Amino acid sequence: MIVFSDLSALFCDIRHEVKDLFDRMDQAYETAAAGYGFVCSGCADNCCLTRFYHHTLIEFCYLHSGFADLAPERQASIRDEAAAVTAAVAKDEALGRMPHAMCPLNTGGRCVLYAYRPMICRLHGIPHTFVHPIQGKIFGPGCHEFDNRCGTAGGHPLDRTLFYREMARIEQRFRQRAGVTEKIKKTVAQMLAAAGERLS
Ligand code: SF4
């Protein structure tokens, strides 16, 4: 069992590294998106409705470090919403349906913890590549909205390779220091429902 309170002090030591990495991801995304002339806004098929799983302890801790600064009442209401979303997603999955529940951090179209959002929330939407250690170079397309608006536009896919590698390096180092070996596979709703309690 992984207890978050055991990790928060340890995470303070590497928090700046995660922030720096995420800042560089945001900049690279902006540059690549601008190259296609793509602006992510006003989309009906909001990606905050997509069930994404997150797999790193450092994303969990970073999200929680922002969550911890919210007022207690706000935390309580978000955690209630996170529990409801988690239950709705589990029900859809049990029925074999694709979950379509809004992330509990999306309020009025805005992310309450935008500065602390996980990696995929930062990188989703535009074409990308990465070099897989075994499969070689892999290409990933943009989202539907990107195709609608910029599918024929010229531009350069965002290369995620260095970001993935650096993320893996920080994660590995943090896990070694924390003595954590358990795998993580959680939605944002599950991470928030677990905040302050246990991770697995
Ligand atoms: S964390 Fe923020 S950006 Fe990511 S899905 Fe939730 S509301 Fe959207």
Helix (H) / strand (E) element for 106: namely strand 106-107
Between CA 189 and CA 43 the distance in angstroms is 21
Q: How far is the CA of 60 from the centre of ligand 1 (A)?
A: 13
**Cα–Cα distance between 145 and 1 in angstroms, integer?**
40
136-156: pLDDT as tens digits: 999 999 999 999 999 887 899
pLDDT at 9: 86
Average pLDDT over residues 165-182: 95
Counting from 1 in the atom list of ligand 1, the atom nearest the Cα of 105 is 7
Mean pLDDT of 120-141: 95
Q: What are the two backbone dihedrals, phi and then psi, of residue 96, each rounded to the nearest 5 degrees? A: 75, 20
**Ligand 1 site-directed mutation target among 26, 116, 117, most atoms within 8 Å of CB:** 117
Tell me if 49 sits within 8 A of 100, measured CB to CB. yes
Spell out the residues 6+ positions from residue 172 whose beta carbon is closer than 8 angstroms to its own: none
Going across the sheet that includes 136-140, the strands are 136-140, 128-132, 158-159
For residue 107, the one-letter residue type is T
**Alpha carbon nearest to ligand 1 atom 5, residue:** 48
164 torsion bin: left (phi>0), alpha (psi -120 to 50), beta (else): alpha
Q: Which of 46, 50, 103, 123 to mutate to test the pocket of ligand 1 (most atoms within 8 A of CB)?
A: 103
Task: Please state the domain extents for the chain.
Answer: 4-194
Q: What is the pTM of this model?
A: 0.92
Residue 165: phi and psi, rounded to 5, are -65, -45
Q: Which residues pair with 137 in a beta bridge?
A: 131
Residue 20 reports pLDDT greater than 70:
yes
pLDDT at position 197: 54
Mutate to test the pocket of ligand 1, among 46, 54, 106 (most ligand atoms within 8 A of CB): 106
Percent of residues in the chain assigned helix, strand, coil, to nearest 5: 55, 10, 35
Give residue-wise pLDDT tens across range 1-10: 566 667 888 9
For 64-106, the pLDDT digits (tens) are 999 999 999 999 999 999 999 999 999 999 999 999 999 999 9
